[in-house]
Structure 1
Amino acid sequence: MSNVDCNTNDVNNTGSLSEGLASGRCSVDQQRRPGCQPATAGKRQKRLGWSKEDNRRMFECYIRSEPERRGYRKRMLDPWIARNPNEELNEVSEQRLADQVRQIKIKKWLENMEQDEIALRVTNEYQETDHNSTDASNRILETQEDSRDQNNTPAEENPIAPPDLEPQEEISPELSALRDRILEVMLLEERAGLPSLRSCDRAKLRVEVGNVNEATKSIETHNITELNSLMYAVAYATTERMGMLKKRKERKTEEPFVKRRIKQSIKTWRKDFCKIEEIRRGNMRLKQRERLNRKYRLEENGTLYVSDMLKQKIKAGAAKIKRYGERCQQFKQSQQFQTNQKLFYETLDGKKREGKEQPDPIEATTFWRKIWSEEVINNEQATWLEQVEQEFSSIEVQEDINITMEDIRTGVSKMANWKAAGPDLVQGYWFKKLPGLHPRLQLHLQDYVHQGSARVDGQRKDSPHSERPNKGYPS
């Protein structure tokens, strides 16, 4: 009998037939389907789960690592390990953290407002830390000077004098100048459109936005109009400091390209026609005659033929321009007939509309006061009044509208950054980047709802944009 036994395969733990020496094969019953691995094979690595709080901590560590400088990934790893309570996420590498930050930005796992709040909070903490450390160093120096005065020992000259900082209640000269500029812009009677800052340096823009947030803390606003003026002034001052404020050239109303092309061709044909007429008279120079000969083949066709051809081209071009003008007028009249037939027929008759006289405000006030203010005794026995009262008896009184900070944040987050601004010329970017003004916005809007003021546009009475509805603010 042959000694046939089943040996164990070292690779995938399968049996193999052998007679003395292993043949490397296994029976059909012991073979496994392709792609199936035994339970003892290496397990798949568990996927890490990142919660929203983890993403917030990750983005905060990213801001603290100063990403605009080189080597930020090494500086980001240590605070992440110190701040993160999840031990599984502490074992990730620097590259994995950088990938996570990139995914947070691309896939919007944190909204832009949340990212800006985190960046602003970290910036304020750094400023407070620097200020406190400077105060501590100043107190140490003052203590040393007092001890020297008590011991009557002359103090050694310090080659590096500590900086003279102002108290915490006051602001730096740079912020004071920025605040003065904002107040100056708020007094402007006319507003100019501001360009988009999408293409400028984002790191520099972040610093400027942090500065204007600090400068606006000491500027008071009493109503929604002043708050809107403050927002525009902040946007104007920031754009000016970024070097993006340029005077816009007035856009000229040009004719359509087709019409301009035909006119240019007619101009060229007329020049050539005059030159050919001079050639027929014998007054043309040799060089110009050679150019026209190459262009129109004067020797083959003759000057008379070319002259007649240019006349026909000029007439055809003028006819094209005339037909184009008639077609444009026909299109405008068709549109006008669909929208305003009365104005269409007045235009056909050649009549010009004269401005209507504005009604006298005193007469208008008297007219409406007689209708609404003076009491009139009506027919109280009318049956339709009872029917209407019964029909609307089930309708409840509407509750008072209360605008909360959550409503403000939700409305502001839905605004686009750099789309065309409304008549107040304040783009949505500045509503998002000025979180310090959100409590004021909530308060002024609540006052507006209660008082029912009609002017909420942020413009002055003599401004061309003063008749603007409340559509520039989050609702």
Structure 2
Amino acid sequence: MHRLFPELEPSVTVTEKNLADRVRYILRSNTFDVTELERLRREAVPSSGENAAAEDAASQLAEQTANVDAAVNTPVVVDSNDDGTVAQELELEQMRSTLEEAIVETRSTPLENRPRLPRLALSKRNRAVVRALNPMLVTYLEASRDLCEMDSILFGAALAVCCIIGAKLSTAGRATGQSSAIPAWRIRIEERIARAGALIGRLICFKSGNTRPRIVRTVRMAFAGTNVSLSQPDITQKLTERIDDLKQRIAAWGKRIRRYTERSTRFNQNRLFQSDQKRLYKSLERPIVSGTGPAPNQADTVAFWRSLWSEPVNHNEGPWTEVVVSQCADIMPMDPVNIKPDDVLRRSVGPRTGKVRGLTGCITTG
């Protein structure tokens, strides 16, 4: 069919997959009946030999159409435990068009750009939708030619189920779905830190004499549930204690986030060390910071270091050095140790198999 299509329509460029998709769509939508399809095939292929092939193709088309109609019109089987009204509300025509669009979209989308499918609950409605779409996949799977096309069909079917039941799909691709995810507990802790910081600021403002209604209302909310009153004499001490308590909470929350960050970093580095050591070492390298200012003058550099190393300096060591020298006068110096190659060889050959001597076993004095 793809070989004959450019001869019939030379101005239209179409691929084999697109042409096959359009043929399947025409067969499923019942745009033409069997007689009309046979007539169109005879007009497109006028020769006698091709007419016979067209008749065979028309019969095959009729059989495929009957199979599609039987698959589409198959009633949804509902268990006795399920709610029968769920299956009655499902419109097979709309579901078939949704499935067709999902499969076509999946075929034209790269694997890394496909949306991440959520995990669906096994409810009665979801099971009914799946059972209604299963018969529609028979024709697609029978016409698939390889595993890649079968994968696109199955993923498109899953995508159609999500669209029909109204599940929320992730807009990020598979490659970046988890790398930028922030745990929900960390978001909550960061929000607590932000609220505590704002409350500390208003408590400090009230402590410094700011009595605006908004500030006073916030301070009263901070001491809600306690016996503290803003008019009592020791309110300044209570404010200080409350501020210190909030600061300690912020420090504890921040320490929890730091522990998680350090643990996550160690885990990722260990996993990267097992998979790609070169990439790990490259990530651990510090960036080279190059100076943006002018280069130092060579003459000034030489003069600076010459003033430090070439000029003789007389150090005033103080009286404590004389005390140390007098205390060490009675200590006899150690005799020089002369180690020969024969000594090292003799000491290294001595251990038994599986035993290794340390440094103390190789060096002897006296």
Q: TM-score surpassing 0.5?
A: no
Q: TM-score range by the shorter chain?
A: 0.3 to 0.5
- TM-score, normalised to structure 1, is 0.30
The answer to which structure, 1 or 2, has the higher relative contact order (CA under 8 A, 6+ apart) is: 1
- TM-score, normalised to structure 2, is 0.37
